[in-house]
Structure 1
């Protein structure tokens, strides 16, 4: 592929040789010859072009790259395309970033193969495909084996309907204005009391209500990051979060997580290299693995956040399904460097869209300011309904039943998958999910997404490996919602037909 036009090749060749330290950007940054007719390939083309320029020493080690905005402007592409391109080049070691200084050429050869088509592109495309009614709205007729919600009858649907009816009896005086900026005070007081009893001392004014956990992540990113910042994420992890990070112009940086927990050596190397602003982490019942960090691992993670000076955002939406006494970053840290995000989507209903942020007294006012700028207040009707549901006597019993149902179905799901040759990639500690698959590397004809597309035609909605990974998968696996997978003959029959 020709990466530069004739005139820009001459400009690049005429660039001055590097001197000690950072080399200045050439006066005329070459405009890449991007073929826009190749749909979905802009990132591939940019990565390949820059890799070729580095290989030919048109860009020498130490050369400062254009800023994200400069590159986007000179090549007429979006900043998000540039962020993803730079992220790929960082991951293969061709570029490095320095806080406050920008991006620089790091080496003359990539530390890992530069993937210009295939799995990485499919993963990025799948992240977009996943934000469809099939996976999130529940309107599809397909068996929702890959979905993130439980059957309404498991929550106690009549209890929720009663709570909504109760919430609709809102006093006429409360129909004026937009509601309390922090959220419905009674629910915040209830949450603060519950957290103070079970995890850590929290005041009601340290609780900010949101439209679910994703809204909370968005507010945190808006408040604490700027385009070009690096954000650490678990790999595999919650893919909608990765898409959101990229949407803000930030660079998601992978930290491997497996059955034994986080790869702390990788975390230290990534933090030293990228100087991240944030790290998002599921301490308990991680999505998609269902594993939990030990107390020792949580302590080590807090130490690394202190050492490398980044915030920890604890995605704690599965806490009520976890064992009492499991590790809590917020409890260990006291909200000094940790921001805790909660939600009721997994224990009541995702339809209510109520989440929460717990943060320090110094940080919460800025989060509140951003909340008001981005969308004013949240729905008091929804928050009243949640309060009536969680403060009612049956709620605690319902949680107990939920945990037992999940345990039973989790065991059945693992047995069902074993029958078609699939094994968990990590043994879950609890929760809603089992991630399992077959050994052996994927091939162009046989990979997670291709199998998921076949399953959809068969009336089964799957969440394949590519949905949860920043890089290419090394095997073929899927995340299963045990509430729907445990007793699904159609699922067993489908996998029997496609097993290797």
Structure 2
């Protein structure tokens, strides 16, 4: 069932204009009206006078209450969204997203000044959504990227599949395609999953524009602003931002070499009553570790006890050894929603992912998919179908895994030469997260070093991208396909702690 946010706030007086306190702003005060509003709301959020999930007044309500123009309110809200303090949802309004900012006018003013000075991402500064991390067109060495070189994917197989997909029958050029996605691909996925992991029917498979689109549809369908969503910490960086964008509260559960801190998970579930938890069962991003059978069994038991959904991010499954734990296989899609993708074994350009869920939940996900963007690309889905159903595909994946195994060992050795050790020993896959044991400081942090690297022509993904907690040490997620290079070695050696 889709949960629609209420038009009335039950948390505090921020839900309507009559109850909203008049802010102490004025044209004769220091700073423009927008800056005064941003500072005032930042202080209220930081001091928890406005709680996470609180619905802000509409633009018109705020403008009328405080005697300012709607243009001023729109710019103020936009700045607060850019600062991460508010999130917006089309048709629902603005909501308080987080509290982790100093509750002082000076701190808020400093943050706002930085936003004014840098209204768009600078080419010499990096963040989790830096375009160069995703475009693939940058000349910088993509050490922090989430894709592999085309030659490792098997270019010939992918290009041949694309050519076959372009021979689409003329009759298929009208209409938008099937709402669930290309039927032949769904049938193939259902057959493969039923043989290897768990029983699933084609009508339980929904195709998406990649895994991130799948996460968005799930959040749209199963949450409302103010809901708690559990995530792994460290975990997938874009997911944290996406959860906040929907007005939900991401709560991190520590994950390390031994897996998830399930005792902490039980405590947080009892305290926050989460709606969802997102988890990488195998080859977790960024650590490369996998959960044991015992841990997945207990995780399912906790989900049952505290009544929350488990979203299994399973996009690295084909790179993992056979027999690794599967939440979907253990649960049979009763409480588990399984998300897959082909960006790691074929190419991220094809943008095809999948959701496997119960029939009743798939019906709601399809409805939301159609509302948000109609159908997905049949051309892309046909290309994926031709690629994965071709005879060379399994051999291509086996060759890819072997290449990654060798590259991973080389990467760990190269990083050791500059004093860096893995945060956790990966069990496979394309990433190694490694760093130095030195305590992080404002002058010596992953973000500072990543900015230095970008100026040197190297794209790094620092620890801050993946963590909700403040990192204690400095580490990075390294893509093993690009790590064993003299350029990176020279840079890391030059900044190595003495």
Shorter-chain TM range is 0.7 to 0.9
Q: Secondary structure at the match of 2:360?
A: coil
**2:198 aligns with one of 197, 200, 206:** 200
Deviations 1:1-20 (A, max 9, x none): xxxxxxxxxxxxxxxxxxxx
Deviations 1:345-389 (A, max 9, x none): 000000001000000011110101111111111111111111111
Q: What is aligned with 1:428?
A: 426
Deviations 1:404-448 (A, max 9, x none): 111111011000000000011111111000000011221121111
Q: What is aligned with 1:19?
A: none
Q: How does 1:447-486 map to 2 (within 5 A)?
A: 447-485=445-483
CA contact (8 A) 1:43 1:82 kept: no
By how many angstroms is 1:132 displaced?
3.1
Q: What is aligned with 2:386?
A: 388
Deviations 1:153-193 (A, max 9, x none): 01110111111001111111111211111111111000000
By how many angstroms is 1:51 displaced?
6.1
Q: What is aligned with 2:262?
A: 264
Q: What is aligned with 1:495?
A: 492
Q: 1:140 to 1:44 in 2, by over 3 A?
A: farther
Following the alignment from structure 2 to structure 1, what is the Cα–Cα distance between the partners of residues 36 and 241? Answer: 17
Q: Secondary structure at the match of 2:449?
A: helix
Q: What is aligned with 1:3?
A: none
Q: What is aligned with 2:208?
A: 210
Q: Secondary structure at the match of 1:257?
A: strand
By how many angstroms is 1:137 displaced?
1.1
Q: Secondary structure at the match of 1:129?
A: coil
**2:397 aligns with one of 396, 399, 402:** 399
By how many angstroms is 1:213 displaced?
0.5
By how many angstroms is 1:29 displaced?
5.1
Q: What is aligned with 2:70?
A: none
Q: 1:207 to 1:349 in 2, by over 3 A?
A: same
Q: 1:43 to 1:301 in 2, by over 3 A?
A: farther
Q: Secondary structure at the match of 1:363?
A: helix
Q: What is aligned with 1:316?
A: 314
CA contact (8 A) 2:432 2:477 kept: yes
By how many angstroms is 1:82 displaced?
4.9
Deviations 1:442-498 (A, max 9, x none): 11211111111111111111001111111321111000000111x201111100000
Following the alignment from structure 2 to structure 1, what is the Cα–Cα distance between the partners of residues 475 and 36? Answer: 26
CA contact (8 A) 1:414 1:424 kept: yes
Q: 1:188 to 1:473 in 2, by over 3 A?
A: same
**1:164 aligns with one of 162, 165, 178:** 162
Q: How does 1:10-409 map to 2 (within 5 A)?
A: 30-31=21-22, 46=41, 48-49=43-44, 67-70=54-57, 78=77, 82=85, 88-89=98-99, 129-409=127-407
Q: 1:296 to 1:476 in 2, by over 3 A?
A: same
In structure 2, the gaps of 5 or more residues are 1-9, 67-72, 88-94, 116-120
Deviations 1:113-172 (A, max 9, x none): xx9889xx99xx999933233100101001110000011001110111111001111111
Deviations 1:205-224 (A, max 9, x none): 10001111111111111111
Following the alignment from structure 1 to structure 2, what is the Cα–Cα distance between the partners of residues 23 and 245? Answer: 20
Following the alignment from structure 1 to structure 2, what is the Cα–Cα distance between the partners of residues 438 and 32? Answer: 47
By how many angstroms is 1:246 displaced?
1.2
CA contact (8 A) 2:45 2:98 kept: no
Following the alignment from structure 1 to structure 2, what is the Cα–Cα distance between the partners of residues 186 and 415? Answer: 44
Following the alignment from structure 1 to structure 2, what is the Cα–Cα distance between the partners of residues 253 and 42? Answer: 28
Q: What is aligned with 2:69?
A: none
Q: 1:402 to 1:175 in 2, by over 3 A?
A: same
Q: 1:174 to 1:477 in 2, by over 3 A?
A: same
**1:441 aligns with one of 439, 461, 466:** 439
Query: TM-score, length-normalised on structure 1?
Result: 0.81
Equivalent residue pairs, number: 445
Q: What is aligned with 1:9?
A: none
Q: What is aligned with 1:15?
A: none
After the TM superposition, list the runs of 4 or more consecutive aligned residues in structure 1 that deviate by more than 6 angstroms: 34-45, 63-66, 115-118, 125-128
By how many angstroms is 1:266 displaced?
1.7
Q: Secondary structure at the match of 1:357?
A: strand
Cα RMSD (Å): 3.2
By how many angstroms is 1:69 displaced?
2.8
CA contact (8 A) 1:219 1:367 kept: yes
Q: Secondary structure at the match of 1:436?
A: strand
